[in-house]
């Protein structure tokens, strides 16, 4: 049976995720923006936390952890390269590593760019990837610490996952991302359809995360820098996709 994955809104626009394996009773938390909503969800479902997976060191992804660990004894897993900035880790992992959780194998990918040492967790059997602030719904994280080339390489690594992978990203930025995406591909029919669906979901107070990788590849401008239509729209036909990505990211930074 695939893992039962729950999306938990935190703070003003963050998400945390719980992944639960019914057979073993193991439950993993991905990122800890805020303790209250996470503890409430664990209590409501009667789940006991066994693992915590941290994607990167930014406070809005780790600041709730200490309070959570006061209530639950869990193994904390994060990037070896970021260990000096993360809460204390019980397991340090690097790009290409894997570990077992809930009877499934979790694969670790370095997706540096937003930060150096940012990692994503891919669980193929459950068709899930936890990407936090690397690949996001209709967007990608701002390049704070890494380089544009680094972020493009990270996004290409994620884009190579199976199309049916469900992308669990870290923030509710999708509607704003959609407004920007329209400036890059105003003629993309799939994008227009998705924007309408996002508006309907937000009108009902529903999250727009997660999404599928197939959706992102069809509509997310940050994954589409190699598309001739995108390059033509930007006046960069035939350019290196990494340079096109950098132009798109720079435009978004100033949008």
Task: Enumerate the known binding-site residues for Zn(2+).
Answer: 56, 58, 60-61, 114, 133, 171
Q: Which residues have a Cβ under 8 Å from the Cβ of 5 and sit 6 or more positions away?
A: 17, 18, 19, 20, 126, 128, 166, 168, 210
Task: Catalytic residue, from 60, 82, 109, 127: name it.
Answer: 60
Task: Catalytic residue, from 51, 114, 118, 122: name it.
Answer: 114
Cis geometry, peptide bond prior to residue 210 (ω within 30 degrees of 0)? yes
Task: Decide if 122 is catalytic.
Answer: no
Task: Catalytic residue, from 20, 51, 58, 118: name it.
Answer: 58
Task: Decide if 61 is catalytic.
Answer: yes
Q: Rounded CA gap, 233 and 185, in Å?
A: 7
Task: Decide if 58 is catalytic.
Answer: yes
Task: Decide if 82 is catalytic.
Answer: no
Q: Which residues have a Cβ under 8 Å from the Cβ of 109 and sit 6 or more positions away?
A: 95, 119, 120, 121, 122, 154, 157, 158
Task: Decide if 20 is catalytic.
Answer: no
Task: Decide if 21 is catalytic.
Answer: no
Task: Decide if 60 is catalytic.
Answer: yes
Q: Which residues have a Cβ under 8 Å from the Cβ of 45 and sit 6 or more positions away?
A: 6, 18, 20
Task: Catalytic residue, from 20, 51, 57, 61: name it.
Answer: 61
Task: Catalytic residue, from 56, 109, 118, 127: name it.
Answer: 56
Q: Which residue has the tokens 């719904």?
A: 137
Which residues are annotated binding-site positions? 56, 58, 60-61, 114, 133, 171
Q: What is the DSSP pairing of strand 75-79 with strand 27-30?
A: unpaired
- Which tokens is 202 given? 């937000």
What's the DSSP call for residue 170?
Answer: S
What's the DSSP call for residue 171?
Answer: B
Active site residues: 56, 58, 60-61, 114, 133, 171
């Amino acid at each position: 049976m695939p893992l039962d994955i729950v999306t938990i809104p935190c703070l003003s626009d963050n998400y945390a995720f719980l992944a639960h394996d019914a057979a073993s009773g193991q439950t993993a938390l991905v990122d800890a923006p805020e303790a209250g909503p996470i503890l409430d969800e664990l209590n409501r479902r009667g789940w006991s936390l066994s693992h915590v997976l941290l994607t990167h060191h930014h406070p809005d992804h780790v600041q709730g952890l200490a309070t959570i660990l006061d209530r639950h004894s869990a193994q904390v897993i994060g990037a070896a390269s970021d260990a000096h900035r993360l809460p204390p880790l019980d397991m340090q992992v690097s790009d290409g590593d894997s570990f077992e959780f809930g009877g499934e194998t979790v694969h670790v990918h370095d997706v540096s760019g937003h930060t150096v040492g940012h990692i994503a967790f891919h669980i193929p059997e459950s068709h899930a990837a936890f990407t936090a602030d690397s690949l996001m719904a209709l967007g990608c994280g701002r390049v704070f610490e890494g380089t544009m080339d680094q972020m493009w390489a990270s996004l290409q690594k994620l884009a190579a996952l199976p199309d049916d992978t469900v992308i669990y990203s870290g923030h509710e930025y999708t509607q704003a991302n959609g407004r920007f995406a329209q400036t890059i591909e105003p003629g993309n029919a799939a994008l227009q359809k998705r924007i309408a669906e996002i508006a309907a979901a937000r009108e009902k107070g529903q999250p727009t995360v997660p999404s599928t990788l197939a959706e992102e590849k069809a509509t997310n401008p940050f994954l589409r820098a190699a598309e001739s239509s995108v390059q033509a729209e930007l006046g960069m036909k035939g350019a290196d996709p990494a340079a096109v990505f950098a132009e798109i990211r720079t435009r978004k930074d100033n949008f």
